[in-house]
């Protein structure tokens, strides 16, 4: 209901944020990474890359950030970051963790999985539309993207494309309280149990 604007140490656009291990981590343009223990005061961290970062997730004691040119970075603490080898050179737009697996998604339907954030495998995708967001909940990975693309997987490896009620591009998806919610262009909101 009530939001407060906080001072940022970065002038660049920020595209993704997550929370884990007592720390908020935000990522954005030209490799920007900000950390904050309380969401009020932030500190800029050295990412070691000039690639823009579009998504970040936390799982199994590891932060994973993804971005343009297939960039993948990992950190145990949000402060010290290591660039990882990516099996794709296209941009990655979203990343999540669930079922002991990191899943990253991106341009041209790209889907990558990793058990540890370090070693990544590209998976067969049932779509060529860009995938913009991914989440995990209720034992299911759900990815969404351009032209209303909706994909599901129980293991992150084998994916099924679902019939979508919209042709509008979907930009993000999350799961909570037993409900998946996806949002996208033109104010579209989709829900599914």
Residues 57-73: pLDDT tens digits?
Answer: 999 999 999 999 999 99
Would you place residue 52 in the very low, low, confident or very high pLDDT band (cuts 50, 70, 90)?
Answer: very high
What's the DSSP call for residue 21?
A: T
Question: Could you tell me the CA-to-CA distances from 99 to 66, 112, 128, 164, 186 in Å, in that order?
Answer: 19, 15, 25, 25, 33
Residue 177, token pair as written in the block: 């309280």
Half-sphere exposure at residue 162, Cβ-oriented, CA atoms within 13 angstroms? 14
* CATH number attached to the domain at 90-193: 2.115.10.20
- pLDDT score recorded for residue 170: 98
What mean pLDDT value characterizes the chain? 97
pTM over 0.85: yes
Average pLDDT over residues 105-133: 98
Task: Kindly report, as residue ranges, where domains of CATH 2.40.10 are found in the chain.
Answer: 1-84
Q: Where in the chain is the domain with CATH 2.115.10.20?
A: 90-193
Asked if the model's pLDDT at residue 179 lies above 90, the reply is yes
Contact assessment for residue 24 and residue 39, using Cβ atoms and an 8 Å cutoff = yes
- What CATH number does the domain located at 1-84 have? 2.40.10
Task: Say how far residue 185 (Cα) sits from the centre of its chain.
Answer: 18
| 11 has pLDDT over 90 | no
SS3 of residue 186 by DSSP:
helix
In the chain, pLDDT over 70 holds for what percent of residues?
100
CA distance 50 to 35: 18
Task: Say what the pLDDT of residue 10 is.
Answer: 87
pLDDT of residue 119: 98
């Amino acid at each position: 209901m009530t939001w407060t604007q906080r001072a940022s140490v970065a002038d660049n656009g920020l595209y993704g944020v997550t929370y884990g291990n007592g720390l908020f981590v935000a990522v954005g343009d030209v490799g920007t990474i900000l950390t904050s223990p309380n969401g009020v005061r932030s500190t800029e961290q050295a990412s070691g890359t000039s690639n823009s970062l579009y998504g970040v997730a936390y799982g199994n004691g590891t932060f994973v950030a993804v971005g343009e040119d297939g960039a993948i970075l990992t950190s145990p603490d949000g402060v010290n970051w290591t660039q990882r080898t990516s099996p794709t050179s296209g941009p990655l737009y979203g990343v999540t963790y669930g079922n002991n697996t990191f899943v990253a998604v991106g341009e041209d339907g790209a889907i990558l999985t990793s058990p540890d954030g370090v070693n990544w495998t590209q998976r067969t995708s049932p779509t060529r539309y860009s995938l913009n967001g991914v989440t995990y909940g209720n034992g299911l990975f759900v990815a969404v993207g351009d032209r209303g693309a909706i994909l599901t997987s129980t293991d992150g490896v084998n994916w099924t494309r679902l019939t979508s009620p919209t042709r509008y591009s979907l930009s993000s998806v999350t799961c909570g309280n037993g409900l998946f919610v996806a949002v996208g262009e033109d104010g579209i909101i989709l829900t599914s149990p």
